[in-house]
Chain A
Amino acid sequence: MTTDQKLSNPPESCGGSGCGTRREFLGAATAAMATALTGCGTLSKEEFLQRNFKELSKQEVLDVIARLEKEYKAKFGKEVKVANTQPIPGVIFGYALDLSRCIGCRRCVHACVKENNQSRDPEIQWIRVLQMDKEEGVNVQHADAYYNPEEVPQEGHFYMPVQCQQCKKPPCTKVCPVGATWRDKDGIVVVDYNWCIGCRYCMAACPYGARHFNWGEPHLPADQLNPNTHYLGNRPRPKGVVEKCTFCIQRTRNGQYPACAEICPTGSRKFGNLLDKDSEIRYVLENKRVFKFKEDLNTQPNFFYFYGV
């Protein structure tokens, strides 16, 4: 017997064939878990154990919302309303964007950020405006998203804003491993920020670059916070989850236009109820030359591009 041997007496609780191995691994995993919990800020037991939003009872939803409102008040020092407005029966939202009118001013981009409480640092934008060559037509390989001239529009170019196309067959919701994102009854594709695990599979699946990840802790100055929020929309987001355009769910489910449509100085953006025969969106679809972006992928967007003039 050597002293080595005494030292190497196994603990009784040890299990598994690669005993030291598994102990190591479990130890590392527990440590990683513990740091993960602290690494993600003040994570309450309630938040940690919260179920998928679709599985919550009415009372549980109210409790979750009350908890979030309390958290946001503590964080931002002002009242934040988190709504859970349901889809309006008989409504499926549609959007149409007039490529012959858009001048690429990006007012929609910034109105969107302001309305939807995106992180300002690092800055997240839900709309990407592509400057394209008129000679090339709609061809993303000839698109420039970083154009920055003195004045727009530039000669020989047209502008194509791209945001979530609210597909009828969304590839992003199909691939989500945990069902943290889905298409609601009014056609809006939403994300449960409290259930998303941040694997970013949806970002790989989306053909429109519509999904954005909170790579760092989102920074949103309190004075720039929009306090009218929706659970599935513009409420302040945590680090490490995916977010996207929701057609301003907090506005449109209350009968308002999305912020991007409201701000557009050229009237390029048309929004409405696809099921309402008298709506402007239906007029556009029935009377203008309309196309869907990347139609060959059969994602069946409820977002259309058209040429108004």
Chain B
Amino acid sequence: MFTLRNFSGFLSDTLRLVTKGSRLYYAWVGFLLLLIAIGAAAYIGQLNQGLIVTKMRDQVSWGFYIGNFTFLVGVAAAAIMLVIPAYIYDWEPIKEITILGEMLAISALIMCLGFVMVDIGRPDRFWHIIPLVGRLNWPQSMLAWDVIVLNLYLLLNWFVVTYLLFCAYTERHYVKKLVLPLVLLSIPMAVSIHTVTAYLYNGLAARPFWNSAILAPRFLASAFCSGPAILLILLQVLRKTTRLSIKDEAIFKVAELMAYTMGFNLFLTAAEAFKELYSGTEHVVYFQYLLFGLKGHTTLVPYAWASILCGLAAFILFLVPRTRTNWVTLNIGCVLIYASVYIEKGMGLIIPGLTPDVLGDIYVYRPSFTEIAVAAGIFAIGFLVFTLMLKAAVPMMLGEFTITKGRASSGETVH
């Protein structure tokens, strides 16, 4: 009973926290709501007219939506980058920031589900894909697997975050016997969401660009570059704007781990490129389309090289201890690697997989305005979810806002 009453107090106080903030906070939330409104308007247009308002067609049947989905699965998976050292090696400086990684995973997963939802032609039949309610083609379809693991991962992270915050709010220590197994479970779960998503493409013999054994390892390697890049910037923002103390040591340690994964990611990409380009079988056309253009179509070429150069530059910045521990070069590196992976695991993965199509046709795909507006709306939903979670979580994590403290002084803001 007490727990239940405390929990309802926790909920109402959470709401109080997220609805009160500084002007900057309101402006930011307002901006996100505006983007969501624009995205919603574009999506309503898409619902009325069908996916014909996108630039996807039979030849290139997946595009910007699925590209973003794939990239964001990587971001969601990368949360474990922080969980592994924190819990396995019991490394204190990182431990306090793992909850932030988990919240990032929740936001990324919500965006993932959003991108799947807007991509399907019959959103009214969404229930067909719900386990037990609909008719899931499991275990045959990799998409059925993906539905299951993504939702389980979302639930798992949601539960752990809620539980940890509730404990902080009620000024109790969390039950380690409950949290530790769940956190440990989240590690293979995170690997599995990204592996299953890679297998979704990997299993298609019709698409040689995806039908490569190192696709899943490449997915994981690139995810471990981009996800932590977001967190590194976020951690710096949080320690400036809140009383959350995050040690330099923790940030530099994450950066060091990122340097290794970046190197590994570049190595895997090079291995794939070598195999295709050197052996030069008929399957080389997809890499050609991506890197050099094919039959005069060079749409992807500048993006592909930008991705490679950004990845290389970021690797060097993170590898050299002096630039890794310099805030300016560190942040430049974060932006570069984020951009690199966003191209590589988004459009750089989907479009050359489908171009030329299975009968050799080259359809040049570029996202339409609707696709960009809808995508902006979904990103805004993700950022909003993340912002609201942070807004409530930070004062609770700091012990500033608990069941006994904070309510009286709730006029005080954290931002």
Please list the residues of chain A having a beta carbon within 8 angstroms of any beta carbon in chain B.
2, 4-5, 7-10, 14-21, 24-25, 28, 31-33, 35-37, 39-40, 43, 48, 51-52, 55, 122, 128, 130, 139-143, 145, 162, 171, 174-180, 195-201, 203-209, 211-217, 238-242, 297-298
Contacts and interface: CB of A to CB of B under 8 A. Distances in A.
Interface in B168-218: 200-201, 203-207
B18 A20 contact: yes
Given A35-B44, A140-B358, A214-B121, A207 B205 contact: yes
Contacts of A204: 61-62, 201, 204, 206-207, 353-354
B124 A198 contact: no
Interface stretch (B47-55, B224-232, B272-280, B341-349): B47-55
A216 B358 contact: no
B86 interface: no
B266 interface: no
B120 A199 contact: yes
Contacts of A216: 49-52
A200 B20 CA distance: 43
Given A28-B381, A140-B359, A241-B121, A21 B62 contact: no
Contact of B135 (A5, A8, A140, A178): A178
A116 B148 CA distance: 37
B141 A20 contact: no
Interface residues of B, number: 79
B54 to A, nearest CB: 8
Contact of A17 (B135, B136, B162, B411): B162
B411 A2 contact: yes
Contacts of B74: none
A18 B50 contact: no
A174 B141 CA distance: 6
B61 to A, nearest CB: 4
B360 interface: yes
A174 B199 CA distance: 13
Contacts of B126: 33, 197
Interface in B10-67: 10-12, 14-16, 18-20, 36, 40, 43-44, 47-52, 54, 56-59, 61-62
Contacts of B14: 17-19
A145 B359 CA distance: 9
A207 B211 CA distance: 12
Contacts of B117: 32
B134 interface: yes
Interface in B98-127: 110, 116-117, 119-126
